[in-house]
Structure formats: C-alpha cells, structure tokens
Amino acid sequence: MIRIEQLSHEFRIGKKGRERSVPVLQHIDLEVGAGEIVAIVGRSGSGKSTLLNLIAGYMAPSEGEIWIQDTRVSHFNEGQWANFRLEHMGFVFQSFQLIPSMTAFENVELPLTLKGWTEPKRKQKVDELLQRLGMLEYAEHYPGELSGGQQQRISIARALVLEPRLILADEPTGSLDTENELQILQLIRELNEQHGITFLMITHDEQVASIAHRTVLLKNGQIAGLTEEQEVIS
C-alpha cells in the first residue's frame, strides 16, 4: 500500500542569505502492507507529523521516494496530489477539521459533491454511512452541536465516503476522553477487519498504538524501532 525509500526532509530557517538547514527526517525506509494498521510513535519533535504530511502530499520531500498503491507520488504537483487524495485516500484529524457552517450530513457529503455525484446518489450514500456509524439521527446537527466523539465519527464518515483503501490518521483520539477514545479505536478496528482498510496513524498514546499490527518508533528523525509484523487482515 505504501513504500517509502530513503526519505529525508529538512526545513530552511533564518533570514535570506543567512539560512541554515534543520534536518527533520533522515533516510526513512518503510513499507505498509494492504490491510495493515500501522502506528507511528515518538516524542514531540521526532518527525511524526512531517512524515505523515509527506505521505499525504502536503509537503514535498527533500530527498527520497514515496509510492502509494504502486504509484510514485513523491514528485506529484499540487493538482496531481489533489486528484490522487480525492480518489485514493481518507484523512482523520485530531481536531476533526469539520466545516462549522455545514451540517454533519453536508460535511460527509462534500467529497461526493467534489466528485460530481448526483444529489440522490449523495443522499443515499451519506445516509447509509451515517446509519452504519450510528450518526444518522445527528445528520442535520452542526459540528458545534456535537460532542467530541460524535464529531470524530463524522470526520471518519467523511474519510470513508469515497471508500478509500488507505486512511491517514493524525492523533485520531487526541481530543477525546477515555470512553470516546475506546469507541473510536473499536470503530477503526472494525473497519479494518470487516473492510480491509489500511490505517497509518501517528500517535503518542499507547492505547492507540495497541490496536496496530505494527508500530514504528521515530526518534530524532530516524526509525529507532519497529515491532515484528503481526497477522495482517486482508
């Protein structure tokens, strides 16, 4: 699903003419198999978020290659990345990233609108997905009217609506209390087991990492540890 080869990234800081390089990631090699849940763990500043942003195409690597579903994406331009993300990837964020002026239904519907689905098809798809996630009764609620756990379920529904095979998750339970965290982790596990969706998550939470088939430890921009591969759900 994902293959990373000798990936490095650095930031340039300082005033023009007096800039210096700050390495963030150094020579990362990593593979994520289809149907895996992989957690990337490490302390703040270890490079976790940078790695996820590179895989998502929000940043361009300084060196190295990224392949997703046998497509070399590391040299995509902005337009190519936008199309590829819409077609192949879903995203779940710690801060939910829901549009406050849109209802729960409209937030989930948005990717279908961007893809040009007709209104009847959009309604059927979103209603089915909200029903599956136990959120149909909240379809006309705005994000500000929902609890944190409910907002994250809507965020997950939006990530799933185009049926991607890969979901990238940035601290997916970081804003939730213990009860809601457990519910979201159970949902992720069910989506993986029942539908074979691949999840790549970054986290500092041991509870989140515990549901992964493998964990990758980042330290000072390098892979410092990798668990043995467990059974992969195909």
pLDDT tens column, 175-221: 888 998 999 999 999 999 999 999 999 998 889 999 999 999 999 99
> Are 162 and 87 within 8 A, CB to CB?
yes
Phi/psi of residue 114, each to 5°? -65, -30
The pTM is what?
0.88
Sign of CA pseudo-dihedral 68, 72, 78, 80: negative
| CA dist., res. 136 & res. 131, Å (int) | 5
Show the domains of the chain with their CATH numbers.
34-60+87-226 (3.40.50.300)
CA 141 to chain centre: 24
pLDDT tens column, 116-125: 999 999 999 9
Q: Which residue has the tokens 């907002």?
A: 151
| CA dist., res. 164 & res. 71, Å (int) | 15
Radius of gyration of the chain from its Cα atoms, rounded to whole angstroms: 18
Structure tokens at 49: 């978020």
